Amino acid sequence: MASDAGTAPGAAAVRLPLSAAQHDIWMAHHLDPTGRRYNIGEYHEIRGAVDEELFAAAWYQLVREADVLRIRRTEADEEGVWQILDADPGDRRIESVDLSSAADPEAEARTWVRRCLAAPYDLAAGDLTRHALVKLGEEHFLYVKCYHHVVLDGMASSLLDQRIAELYGKALAGEAWGPTPFGTLPELLAEDAAHRSSPEAAAERAHWTEHLTGAPETPRIAEGRTTGVPDDGVPFVRRSALLDPGRAERLREVARAHRTRWPMLMVAMVAAYVHRISGRTDLTLGLPVTGRTTELARRTPGMASNVVPLRLTVDPGASLSELVRSVVAESRHGLKHQRTRYEDMCRDLGLAEGARRLTAPLVNIMAFAPELDFGGQPTLTHNLSNGPVEDLAIGVYDRGPEVGVRVDFDAAPEVCDLAAVADHQDRFLRFVDTALDGMDSGVRELDLLDPAERRLLLGERAGVEVEIGDATLAELFEEQVRLRPEHPAVVFGEETLTYGELNERGGGGAVRGAGPAAARAPGRRLR
């Protein structure tokens, strides 16, 4: 990989403070014993010939232009935390990896890429970005990029991608590089500091506190069997699926018919899905945003991305189209106030690191730029990681009219395993199809189960149907207490209560006073 190790001795360097966004990631990184949680990365698959020498020259020019690619390391002292920025690239070089002679170059490349993503970072030691051009064949290459999140975010990566594609195209044509489109990191940091000390920033923070006060704890969405961190060290489990071009166009058509954009419709369907599986009506989803509202921030690679909470009330009787309108309004509010750091919101609400979560799940709609063109060769982008996953993160990527929409479900391995993630994803994608055909139906009416699940719940898991006569539920329970007090009555997680224990906890009748549900109903049946 491109490394700091070769920087020329005595090369000029400058010590800069961290931005607020960088500082929060720096602190969180030091609470992560693996050094992997804040790894981000992706690769561009190039289907065509690449002039490796010219590509390396274009990459070197990119490093000269983009300050973030020359951040050597971070250091802390009594005055604060700093990032050390080299004045020039020194003798950095993009790593060249040739797998074309392997028995299965693509399989070998997948292993190599995941190993790159899983490599831990030591922020004090350096090597905060990793780049490689991987050759699988004469007309098949991968441009691989892995970073620590303290250096940059998805929007910054997109800016860098557009520039290197431009630089490589100019190199092939024998043209001059031309002026850089990027601003400098010192300018970006100065703008961020000025904003954070402004009255406007203080007012926005107070606004968010008022907006989020009283928000309930978010439901745990992704729960199931756990297997721990995968053997290759990638700190989350992912399952990818594709809405084919026909289904993706249906998504766009329905969004247009309801006067919105398809990303807002997708967020509304996630909200409806979370409501249906959790029963919660007051939800707070997380919407990752660029955190860039100024001209300088939009053209300068750096770390500025943020998460805005979308606080939504889901009325089970309201239609999905009504929920879309709520999502649009709440998203506009969030984008208007997106510079207030999510970490500041949590602190202002008294939620320390490791406390209950403010938002779940994250819904990340990635639409920064179309697929790149490297010297006229087509490419396909493969995201590897967008950063830390606490519970469930849903990534949605528009791959164009010929490919469709990719939907990734990521989950923390300590929460659930890949099989549980797959169950959620399959159910959600079925729910999307149902929702697109039922936009004017009440949310509670949108079917969540597939035919096999319905047969299971109403068939073998429902048990044997028996006559219960005029007995109430309370009377039937008390009969079990009398006949089988030592038998299990309730199993919740690792706790099992017998009929006798449950009866004692209920104060001499655990289901007494159950109201209308326990009223007499002659001739009722019970499964």
Task: Find how far residue 57's CA is from the centre of its chain.
Answer: 33
Q: Can you tell me whether residue 527 is helix, strand or coil?
A: coil
Query: What ranges in 31-82 are assigned the alpha helix state H?
Result: 52-65
Is 311 inside a domain boundary?
yes
Tens-place pLDDT, residues 90-123: 999 999 999 999 999 999 999 999 999 999 999 9
- Looking at 455, 472, 489, the residue that finishes a domain is 455
248, pLDDT greater than 70: yes
Cβ of 119: how many Cβ atoms within 10 Å? 16
- Assess if residue 200 is contained within a domain: no
pLDDT of residue 39: 94
| Model pLDDT, residue 217 | 81
In a domain, 232, yes or no: no
Give the residue among 318, 309, 306, 335 at the shortest CA–CA distance from 275.
318
| Interatomic CA distance for residues 115 and 119, integer angstroms | 6
Task: Compute the distance between CA of residue 521 and CA of residue 512 in angstroms, rounded to an integer.
Answer: 16
Q: Based on the domain organization, do 278 and 147 belong to the same domain?
A: no
Whether residues 57 and 154 fall in one domain: yes
Over residues 428-451, the pLDDT tens digits come to 999 999 999 999 999 999 888 777
pLDDT tens track for 463-522: 666 676 777 777 777 888 888 888 888 776 567 888 888 777 764 444 443 443 334 444
Distance CA 429, CA 444 (A): 17
222 is a domain residue: no
Which carries the bigger pLDDT value, residue 8 or residue 257?
Answer: 257
Average pLDDT over residues 271-291: 93
List the single range of 4-8, 43-47, 473-477 with lowest mean pLDDT: 4-8
Question: Each residue of 142-182: pLDDT tens digit?
Answer: 999 999 999 999 999 999 999 999 999 999 999 999 999 99
Residue 465: count other Cβ atoms within 10 Å of its Cβ. 9
Mean pLDDT, residues 205-230 taken together: 79
- Same domain assignment for residues 504 and 442: no
Do 249 and 359 belong together in one domain?
Answer: yes
Please write the tens of the pLDDT for every residue from 52-79. 999 999 999 999 999 999 999 999 999 9
What tens digit of pLDDT does each residue of 305-344 get? Answer: 999 999 999 999 999 999 999 999 999 999 999 999 999 9
- The domain of 334 spans 239-371+380-455
Q: Is it the case that residue 257 has pLDDT exceeding 70?
A: yes
Residue 225 tokens, joined: 């069997």
Q: Quote the mean pLDDT of the chain.
A: 87
With a cut of 60, say whether residue 6 has pLDDT above it: no
Residues 487 and 439 reside in one and the same domain: no
The CA-atom distances, in angstroms, between 499 and each of 146, 153, 466, 488 are: 56, 54, 20, 6
Return the H-helix or E-strand segment holding 45: strand 39-46
Quote the pLDDT of residue 520: 40
Q: Considering Cα of 498, then 503, then 505, then 506, what sign does the dihedral take? A: positive
| 3-state SS record for 164-206 | HHHHHHHHHHCCCCCCCCCCCHHHHHHHHHHHHCCHHHHHHHH
Tokens of 262: 């398809």
Residue 208 · residue 339 · CB < 8 Å: no
| 356 Cβ contact partners less than 8 Å away, ≥ 6 residues apart | 217, 218
Both structure tokens of 518 = 């326990």
* CATH classification at residue 60: 3.30.559.10
User: Model confidence at 526, in pLDDT bands (50, 70, 90)?
Assistant: very low
Give a yes or no: residue 332 inside a domain.
yes
The model's confidence at residue 14, banded by pLDDT at 50, 70 and 90, is very high
Residues 508, 418 within the same domain: no
Do the Cβ atoms of 258 and 460 come closer than 8 Å?
A: no
- Do 279 and 420 share a domain, yes or no? yes
Find tokens 């009748």 and name the residue. 509
Same domain membership, residue 428 and residue 484: no
Q: Please tell me the predicted confidence (pLDDT) of residue 199.
A: 97
- Count up the domains in the chain and report the number: 3
475/395 same-domain check:
no
In this prediction, residue 522 carries a pLDDT of 44
Per DSSP, helices labelled H in 75-224 are 105-118, 154-173, 185-196, 199-212
Of residues 389 and 167, the one with the higher pLDDT is 167
CATH number of the domain enclosing 408: 3.30.559.30
- Going by their DSSP bridges, the two strands 95-98 and 129-137 should be labelled as parallel
Predicted TM-score (pTM) of this structure: 0.83
147 and 244 co-located in one domain: no
The answer to whether the peptide bond before residue 179 is cis (omega within 30 degrees of 0) is no
Residue 199 lies in a domain: no
- Residue 310 and residue 327 in contact, taking contact as beta carbons nearer than 8 Å: yes
pLDDT of 351? 85
Is the domain of 489 the same as that of 407?
no
At residue 99, the pLDDT reads 98
pLDDT at 2 over 70: no
Report pLDDT for 527. Answer: 46
- Top pLDDT among 390 and 18 is at 18
Q: Which of 37-41, 231-235, 520-524 has the weakest average pLDDT?
A: 520-524
Same domain, 502 and 437: no
Which pLDDT does position 451 carry in this prediction?
Answer: 75
Return the higher-pLDDT residue of 44 and 371.
44
**Percent of the chain clearing pLDDT 70 (strictly above):** 87
- The token pair that represents 72 in the structure block: 């050597």
Residue type, 221: I
